[in-house]
């Protein structure tokens, strides 16, 4: 399920990037690129409204999907600490002196 949500997030990010790149920061935006065609079909004011609503919608979708995706993460299983294994060597081996170095 997490892979499906991740793919949808990536697609929403591409759409958000499209909306941001198409907008003109000085207010021309989509209507400025198409000349009079944009103003005849949608009007200058409506094209900027559509782009702004699309930007906010895509941003909201990305934020919501990121929050929802946290619910599908699998928590790692707790690993118990291994019990200390004490190996007792025979008394003879523990008391033997180390061999001298040559």
Does residue 101 sit within a domain? Answer: no
Does residue 50 sit within a domain? Answer: yes
Domain count for the chain: 1
Does residue 24 sit within a domain? Answer: no
Does residue 97 sit within a domain? Answer: no
Give the residue, 51 or 6, on which the prediction is more confident: 6
SS3 for the chain, per residue? CHHHHHHHHHHHHHHHHHHHHHCCCCCCHHHHHHCHHHHHHCCHHHHHHHHHHHHHHHHHHHHHHHHHHHHHCCCCCCCCCCCCCCCCCCHHHHCCCCCCCC
Query: Tens of pLDDT along 81-96?
Result: 666 666 655 555 556 6
Does residue 47 sit within a domain? Answer: yes
Query: Tens of pLDDT along 23-60?
Result: 876 655 555 555 555 445 554 556 677 888 889 999 99
């Amino acid at each position: 399920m997490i892979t499906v949500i991740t793919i949808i997030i990536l697609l929403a990010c591409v759409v958000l990037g499209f909306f941001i790149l198409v907008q003109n920061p000085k207010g021309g935006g989509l209507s400025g690129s198409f000349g009079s065609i944009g103003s005849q079909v949608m009007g200058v004011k409506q094209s900027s409204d559509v782009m702004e609503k699309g930007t906010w919608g895509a941003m909201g979708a990305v934020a919501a999907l990121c929050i929802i995706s946290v619910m599908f993460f699998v928590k790692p299983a707790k690993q118990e600490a291994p019990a200390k294994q004490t190996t007792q060597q025979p008394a003879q081996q523990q008391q033997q002196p180390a061999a001298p170095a040559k």
